[in-house]
Amino acid sequence: MEKKPAKSFLAIITILGWFALAAQFYLIIVNRTASIPETIVRYFSFYTILTNILIAYCATSLWLKQGFLLSNFLSKQTVLAALTLYIVIVGLVYNLILRKTWNPQGLQLLVDELLHTVIPIVFLFFWLLFVQKNELKWKNILSWLIYPLIYIILILGRGKISGFYPYPFIDVNKLGFSKVILNCGTLIIVFLVFSLLIVGVGKLMRKP
């Protein structure tokens, strides 16, 4: 791995990531339809936000290296592959399903493109170009599914209590529980398929 190009990618992800997250927080507060505490909880209920926080923190810790909690953990090949999976799913779901559901303008448009398109693409290329892949194994896939499964359970649980669901395809109020469970099952299959793809690509790109 060449250090300077890799660090450039990490710097770009860090700067764009924290900017987009901060700007989205500002926008959701300014345009809130609920109390500030509830709005903050809703901000952190989006898979996009949580995953981009993981990506931004990981990039920051790998770029600056010192003084970051879990920096050694985040530098593991299996963890970086899992993060690549999670952020790629962010891009796919938004661009294939959610993009057509609204028409953001101005700063919101910029933030949306950063969180859902630019950062997923840049992080994917970082993983493809600079991260070693010789430790990836098929058995890693099951552990990678824990994050999306826990997210779905928590969001559905909170939605049952609050009535708020962050995404239309998991809105029990509008779709009903059976349809939402079917959608969630489909999403987990998508995670599984792309997990297999990532491990397969990793095995093809292995270096001694």
For the stretch 109-132, pLDDT in tens is 999 999 999 999 999 999 999 999
The DSSP result for 79-134, as a single string, is HHHHHHHHHHHHHHHIIIIIGGG----HHHHHHHHIIIIIHHHHHHHHHHHHS--T
> Residue 67 has what pLDDT?
67
- Mean pLDDT computed over every residue of the chain: 94
Q: What percent of the chain has a predicted confidence (pLDDT) above 90? A: 89
> Residue 100 has what pLDDT?
92
Structural element, H or E, at residue 203: helix 177-204
> Residue 1 has what pLDDT?
47
> Residue 69 has what pLDDT?
77
In this prediction, residue 107 has a pLDDT band, given cuts at 50, 70 and 90, of: very high
HSE-CB of 143 using CA atoms within 13 angstroms: 11
pLDDT in tens, 147-198: 999 999 999 999 999 999 999 999 999 999 999 999 999 999 999 999 999 9
In this prediction, residue 207 has a pLDDT band, given cuts at 50, 70 and 90, of: low
> Residue 175 has what pLDDT?
96
Structural domains in the chain (count): 1
Which residues form the domain of 44? 3-204
Report whether pLDDT(206) > 90. Answer: no
Q: What percent of the chain has a predicted confidence (pLDDT) above 70? A: 97
> Residue 43 has what pLDDT?
98
Cα dihedral value 192, 196, 197, 199, nearest 10: 130
Mean pLDDT on 9-32: 97
> Residue 70 has what pLDDT?
81
Mean pLDDT on 37-58: 97
Helix axis angle for 77-93 and 146-162, nearest 10°, is: 50
> Residue 149 has what pLDDT?
97
CA distance 91 to 96: 8
Give the Cβ contact number of residue 134 at 10 Å: 11
> Residue 21 has what pLDDT?
98
pLDDT in tens, 56-83: 999 999 998 766 778 888 899 999 999 9
The answer to whether 113 touches 19, Cβ cutoff 8 Å, is no
